[in-house]
Structure 1
Amino acid sequence: MGYLAKCLTRGVMVPVGLLAGSAGNSLAADLGPPPPAPVIDTAVQPAWTFRFTPYGWLTAWNGTQTVRGRSVKVDASFIDIVEKSDTLVALMGDFEARFGRFALLGDVVWSRVGADRSNIRSRTLAPGVTGTLATSLGLDVEMVIAEFGVAYEVARSGPLAFDILGGARYWYQEADLSLAVTAAVDIGDLQVAGARAFARSGSVDWLDPIVGARVRYTMAPGHELFLRGDIGGLGVGSDFSWQAIGAYGFELGTYQGITFSGVIGYRALSVDYAQGEGRRRYEFDMIQHGPILGLSMRF
C-alpha cells in the first residue's frame, strides 16, 4: 500500500502540497504532454499600392503625314514644334495600381502640335489642283494616345524584376494640312480661308493591341531603373507599332504618406497607320521621340 494511502487509513494528516503535487502528477500522467503552442503566421500580406506620374514628353517628329491624299514629309525637333504649336504644355500622365505580382497600367497623352514649311517637304502635295501654289506649308495635329493594360511579374532575382504585359493603345487624331495660295483656278476639295487652303482629316481613331515586357532594377534604396518595350497593331488597327522607354526614378521624400520621386528618361513611339484611297486617304507613319520629365507620387 502506498504511503499516502497508509497515512489516510491511519488518520495521519498529509500536507496539502503533497496531495496537490501527487494529484497534479497523476492528472498530468492521465492527460499526457501539453499540446504545442499555436503557430501565428506573421508574414506581411500583399496590399494594393498606387502610383501616379504626371510628366512632360519633349517630342520630336520624323515621318510622313497624309491628309485627304496630300502627303508631306515631317522632320521637326521639339524646338520646332514648340515654336509652331498652339500650346506649349500638353497633358500627360501615367498610372499604375499594383497588388503583389499583378499590376494595372494606364497612360494618357494629349497634345496639339504643329510644324511649318522649314520642317516639311512636299510629297504628292495637291493632286487635282490647277493654278499656282506658294511653297509655304503648315501641319497641325491634335492627338490623344491612351494606353491601358495589365502586367505580371514572372521572375525576380534580388533587386531585378521582369514583367510581361499586354493591353491596348487607343489613338485619336485630327490633322490640318495648310497651303499658302497665291493664285488658284481650281483647288479641288481643299477648303479656302483667306490666302490659305486647308486639307482637313476630320476625326480619325483606331485601337492597337499591344504586348511587351519590362525590367525594373532597384539600384539602391529609393533609386530604380525602368526599361520597357512593346509592339502592337499587327494589322488589327495600325499596320505596325512599337515603343521603347527607358527611365530612372529617384526618391525625393515622403509627405503625409505619399512618396514623391523624380523621373527622367527617354521615350520613342512609332506607328504606321493608313486608311482610305485617293482623296480620302489618311496616313500617319511617324516616330515620336524625346526626353521625358516627371514627378511620381506613390501611396
Structure 2
Amino acid sequence: MQRSVALRAKLKTPKPKHRPDQSEYTLADFCHAVTYHQIRCGKNKGIKINMFKDINDSPYFGAPNIQALQKNRDDQVEDLRDLPGAVIHARTFSVDDPEAIGWQRIKDVVAKEGIVTFRGADESVISKARKELAEFDPSEHYWDIFMADAATIRDVCSHVASMPLPAGLVRMADDGITAKLARQVQHFLNEHGVSPFSIPALLGQLFDAKLVVLMNSNDQIAAAGFAAMTHNRHSPFAGTAWVGLIAVDPALRGMGLGKQVDAICNLAAVDELGASATMEFVARDNIPSRAMLEGCGLRHVEGKSVAMFSRSADRITR
C-alpha cells in the first residue's frame, strides 16, 4: 500500500456492514482474483479507505455510489454467468427475462442498490415492472436497442474500420492495453459523460471483452470504445455482444471518428469475440448517435428497449 494511502487509512473494528451509498470500503472488499490487482488480506481486513479519491490500487472509479455498483457487478459475474434471466455484467443489475430470475430478487436489488435495468423489455415487461416496483416510486429512463447480425457487421463495418485514421492517431495494440491505460480510459469516459466500468471489466478479465483505444501524438486518449459478451446461454440475446462506452475527444468530433471507433468495436465483437450479432443502446433523443449506429449497419429493434427503474433521477450515463 502506498504511504499516502496508508496515512489516510483508519483502523476500525468491528467491521461495519457494507452499504452501496457508503464512501468507504475495507481492503478485503478489493481482494479480487485478477492477475493485475493483488492485495494481501489478513490483518488488513479492518482497514478502511475513502474510495471517493482516485486511489491507484483500486479498480473502481467515480463517486462512491458508482464505485459500489461497479464492485457489485464484478462480484456477481460468476453467480450470473449461468443464471437464467440475468445479464452477466452491466452498469447496474440487469435482467433480460424478469420472470426467469424472479421479481422478488429484482425487488431485493432495488431495495439494496436503488436501481435495476431491464434489457430487451417490451410494453408488457415495462407494465409489470411498474406494478411490481411501485412501492419504490422509481424514475424511469429508456434507451432504444440497435442490432445487427455478424454478416452485416462484417459487410458494413470492415470498410469503415479500415479507413485511415486522422493524422497523428494510432490504435493502441493489445499489449499496450494495461491497467494503467484502463485507468486513463476511466477518466476519459467520465469526462465525456460516459459512466465507465471497473479496470478488470475493461481489461476483459471477468468475461470476454475488447477495449479499443485510439491515442494521439501526445500519448493522450483521442477516442475509446468497448465490446463485451455479457449474455449467458439462457438469454434471448445469447451470442450477442454488447458494444458501448464510445467516446471521442471533442476537438476531434465531426471527422467521423466516433463512427470509425464504433465500427472497430463491432468488428472486434464478431471477429475476435465470436459474437453472432451485436447490440448497442442509444437515448431516443440522441440523433447523432442513432445515425452513427445506422452507419455501422445496426438497425432499431422495434418494440424492445432498455428500461432503467431507479429510486434516483440520475441516469448514471448519457
Task: Calculate the TM-score normalised by the size of structure 2.
Answer: 0.21
Q: Which has the higher contact order (CA 8 A, sep 6+)?
A: 2
Which of the pair is proportionally richer in helix?
Answer: 2
Which of the pair is proportionally richer in strand?
Answer: 1
Task: Calculate the TM-score normalised by the size of structure 1.
Answer: 0.22
